[in-house]
Structure 1
Amino acid sequence: MVVLRILYRNFRISERRFSATSVNRDKYSCKILVVGGGAGGCSTAAKFARTLKKNELIVLEPSEYHYYQPLFTIIGGGTSTIQEARRKESDVLPKNCTWIKDKAALYDPDKSFVTTEKGDVIEYDYMLIAVGLELRYDLIPGLQEALDKSSNVCSIYSPKYAPQVFEVLKNLKDGAAHFTFPNSPVKCPGAPQKICYISDHYLRKQNRRDNVNITYNTSLPVIFGVKKYADALWKLCKSRNIDVNLRTNLVNVNSVNNEATFQNLDNPDEKKTVKFSMLHVVPPMATPLSLSSNKKISNEAGFVNVHKHTLQHIVYPNIFSIGDCASTPNSKTAAAAAAQTEVVFRNLSAVMNGQSLPLSYDGYASCPLVTGYDKCILAEFDYNLNPLETFPFDQDKELRSMYILKKIFMPQLYWNLMLNGYWNGPALFRRIMHLQFMDKKPPAKS
């Protein structure tokens, strides 16, 4: 099936290029090409826009709107709206860049150019790939139809579906509510639990919790990758009577009969079908096919093959990657992208000037684990899954202050600082909070 998809895609691209004339096909040339205008791409482009000319910096991004995706969980709980999470792409991209509203179809790293879906060609001196992960609802039979037609199947991961999560919650009176985590890479891997805890809190507030059984089904062998926070989450689930099934993967949805089929990943022949009154699904995710099928750029898993500390491509020194599509083995979150932006900016600038790479990314990621309408556990950790906490107190507790940070301050920080290239994560504040006034981390290795 994957081979057929690749052949069909290449056929369509060839067809477009054959039918296009020299009049409607454009050719561009730039110093830096940023492929993807999401959190990482937009933030890094903003940094380079301060010194480059407008025609030297191109951002290739097809979307009309830019979304602050960490807000989708709050939207699912009914305390925010999709409008609050949305801005026009033209308003968040740096003004001093050239925006091409299209997406990459073919990469040629040997000749340093990208062909877009419309057939345009963009030549570059340096390239930053920041295309993120695509939501693949279609990979679970019956799911897409259920989301479009059912009144009790929902998902916070898409701006199209996030608002209907609260509608499903409001209509949930009794029965079983199932929440899933797929057997694939996932952006914001804490979000599947967050909406589970918010749903639990909502039902308690409505005095309906005793009528609903809640189950969290995850494909992972642990509830959370960092033991300190996992221990806290296990206690939380036990105290709230939330059942947790590990190594359990959703493989089919029957919305007509309100049935979901799960596979035991430790025994793939073992499958179990359950009835549901509410089903919240996190879709499988993957990098775009144009990237994953290009084995010169991507690794076997389809991610841009970069050094995990420098974020520079293993083979092509003029290519860097940031965010969810990079092969770095960190948790894929907006906070991780923020920490990566300065590393990419400084290291790519060094390459452009023939210098050694100065910065090293330590795998920092943050996951504000919202546990209800007024509490949050702020998980922060590094590549080794060791806590890397900003505040001088244990963050494995449910705190109202962390919820306010998540809901009120983080969106403002994102829109006003990060996307404008002024937020590189909390590393500086962490050192100040812990009275560490010198950065002891070694420089990056080339």
Structure 2
Amino acid sequence: MDPHYQVLIIGGGTAGIMVAAQLRKQKKIIDVAIIEPADKHYYQPAWTLVGAGTYDFDKTAKPMGSVIPKGVKWIKDKATKFDTVNNRVFTSVSGSVTYDFLVVAPGLAYDYDLVPGLGEAMDKGVVCSNYTDPVHTWNVIKNFKGGTALFTQPATPIKCGGAPQKIMYLAESYFRKSGVRDETEVVFATPGTIIFGIPEIAKTLTSVVDRKDINLRFYHRLVEVDSKRQIAWYEIGKEVQQGCTVIADKEGDTSRLDKSLQYNYKHVKVSVDGNRYGIHYDLLHTAPPSVAPDFVKNSPLANDSGWVDVDPGTLQHKEYPNIFSLGDVAGIPTAKTGAAIRKQVPVVVDNLDLLIRHHKIGTMSYNGYSSCPLVTDYGKMVLAEFDYKNNFTPDPKLKQMLVFDSAKEHWRLWMLKKYGLPYLYWKKMLKGKNV
């Protein structure tokens, strides 16, 4: 007979651990299990600092067994398939498990096939990513001797969309310290159309870009990486206006550049192949193309985009009322960050508690809150907090830190990033405290 649990959670990341901890601590729900194959649990927000040489990678990891809440069953296995009719989840090794209520929070998977060549290049030579190996990122940055430092990202959703910018700002600072900045052009190529979606934050980041003399290239969709020739190939995500160009001519004339594509243009080496533009790099930092895991994407739980099809307010599945999803795999239009999870967990926990005790969901609703701590330099940070409508929503508690405008760079926010948030994560959030 299959083992059965009142609440079964898929995923031992931030979302899964927090839900389990709050269910046990606040709601006294006894029968909870987590399916999670990994041996270690990582505090990934610190990987930006690891990649910049200012945080110890070993301090970002703890044994998975040490963060599984007391009294919660750890099924050390991988979920592979859903049987929603019979309230059952199949696993790779342990067989199947049944449930009364299911929480789906396995996090993201990487699909390197979406950007040919990137999988072979990732974390080798001068190609690096804080998302996969921040220690290698730091080695690449500190050994960089000049040339084109290219920071980019795929067109898919990624964890914390601001992360590819953060490491760029820190790297630029390190290049100054190491004496190679004068021989370096820093380029940020993004499929996006603006530097950041919140005007208050975009204004600050633009001033940072100006101060650091960085070239922004918008509408640049990464389509291939040629690691042998060190070229990142892009297609332009808009029709260039007649008479305008994507790059300057050989004489360096920039008068005809499409200004919506280029900001603070730098004449780095670019190859052209039909409608593709290849930026030659001496350092490449990117994020891997991110998708939902196959067992989610190919399941009855998924929407047309492959994410779990939940109500954006209640986080309850639209077809199966005993299933909830949160975190990176949930099909909701907000940033995929731990800060978002922090606000999603109480909604899921409240709904589960009321469904179990009263057969109805509660009135709590997730408003899309997320935040992105944007490190702009060693010792400086801005904090972007926003909701589904991209309203700038600073936490009033910041005033207790004497931070009165978190859209501007502040050293106190850097201290929050480096010391305060890791403490809150390990000692409060993962312990079931609602912070």
TM bracket, shorter-chain basis: 0.7 to 0.9
Distance, in Å, in 2 between the alignment partners of 1:77 and 1:265 is 31
Q: Which amino acid aligns with 2:199?
A: K
Structure 2: tracts of 5 or more residues without a match: 241-273
Corresponding residue of 1:97: 72
- Does residue 191 (structure 1) correspond to residue 168 (structure 2)? The answer is no
2:368 to 363, 368, 392: 363
Instruction: Give the secondary structure class of the aligned counterpart of 2:296.
Output: helix
CA distance in 2, matches of 1:248, 1:388: 29
| Structure 1 match to 2:93 | 118
> Which of 341, 360, 363 pairs up with 1:337?
341
Contact 2:77 2:94 in 1 (8 A): no
| C-alpha contact (below 8 Å) 1:81/1:163 kept by paired residues | no
1:287 is matched with 292
Report the Cα offset of residue 217 of structure 1: 0.7
Structure 1 counterpart of 2:121: 146
Tell me the TM-score normalised to structure 1 length.
0.85
Per-residue deviation, residues 165-197 of structure 1 (Å, max 9, x unmatched): 111111111110000121001111110100010
Q: Does the 8 Å contact 1:152/1:278 carry over to 2?
A: yes
Say if 2:32 is the partner of 1:28. Answer: no
Q: Percent identity among equivalent residues?
A: 38
Match of 2:262 in 1: none
For residues 286-322 of structure 1, what are the alpha-carbon distances to aligned partners after superposition, in whole Å with 9 as ceiling and x for unaligned? 010100111x211111111111111111111111111
* Aligned amino acid, residue 207 of structure 2: K
1:52 aligns with 2:53: no
Partner of 1:156: 130
**Corresponding residue for residue 419 of structure 1:** 430
Deviations 1:126-154 (A, max 9, x none): 00011111123343222222225x32110
Q: In 1, distance between residues paired with 2:334 and 2:279?
A: 33
Q: Which amino acid aligns with 2:280?
A: K
Q: Secondary structure of 1:83's match?
A: helix
| Residue aligned with 2:409, SS | coil
Are 1:397 and 2:369 an aligned pair? no
Check the 8 A contact 1:180/1:249 in 2, yes or no. no
Q: How far does residue 262 in structure 1 lie from its aligned partner after superposition?
A: 1.6
Tell me how far 1:403 sits from its aligned partner: 0.4
CA contact (8 A) 2:340 2:370 kept: yes
Tell which deviates more after alignment, 198-207 or 71-80: 198-207
* Partners of 2:29 and 2:289 in 1: CA distance: 38
**Would you say the 8 A contact 2:166–2:375 is kept in 1?**
yes
Query: What are the residue-to-residue correspondences of 1:167-316 with 2, within 5 Å?
Result: 167-267=139-239, 270-294=275-299, 296-316=300-320
- Counterpart of 1:247, as a letter, is Y
Gaps in structure 1 of 5+ consecutive residues: 1-25, 425-446
After TM superposition, give the deviation of residue 205 of structure 1 in Å. Answer: 1.7
Following superposition, the deviation at residue 274 of structure 1 comes to 2.0
Residue 278 of structure 1: how far off its partner (Å)? 0.3
**Equivalent-residue separation in structure 2 for 1:94 and 1:119 (angstroms):** 21
Q: Is the 8 A contact 1:155 1:281 kept in 2?
A: yes
Amino acid in structure 2 at the alignment position of 1:38: G
Indicate if the aligned counterparts of 1:36 and 1:132 stay in contact, CA closer than 8 A.
yes
Instruction: Return the alpha-carbon distance in structure 1 between the equivalents of residues 191 and 146 of structure 2.
Output: 26
1:227 and 1:292 map into 2 onto residues whose CA distance is 34
Kept in 1, the 8 Å contact 2:352–2:361? The answer is no
Alpha-carbon deviation of 1:27? Answer: 2.2
AA at the equivalent of 1:182: P
Cα distance in structure 1, aligned partners of 2:194 and 2:83: 40
TM-score of the two chains, using structure 2 as the length reference = 0.88
Alpha-carbon offset, residue 410 of structure 1: 0.3
1:65 equivalenced with 2:40 (yes/no): yes
Look up the SS of the partner of 2:122 in the other structure. helix
CA distance in 2, matches of 1:356, 1:155: 41
Deviation at 1:119, TM superposition (A): 5.4
1:349 to 346, 353, 373: 353
Q: CA deviation at 1:86?
A: 0.5
Tell me how far apart the structure 1 counterparts of residues 239 and 91 of structure 2 sit (CA, whole Å): 43
Asked if structure 1 preserves the Cα contact closer than 8 Å seen for 2:82 and 2:89, the reply is yes
Give the superposition deviation at 1:415: 0.6
Aligned length: 393
CA RMSD of aligned residues (A): 1.5
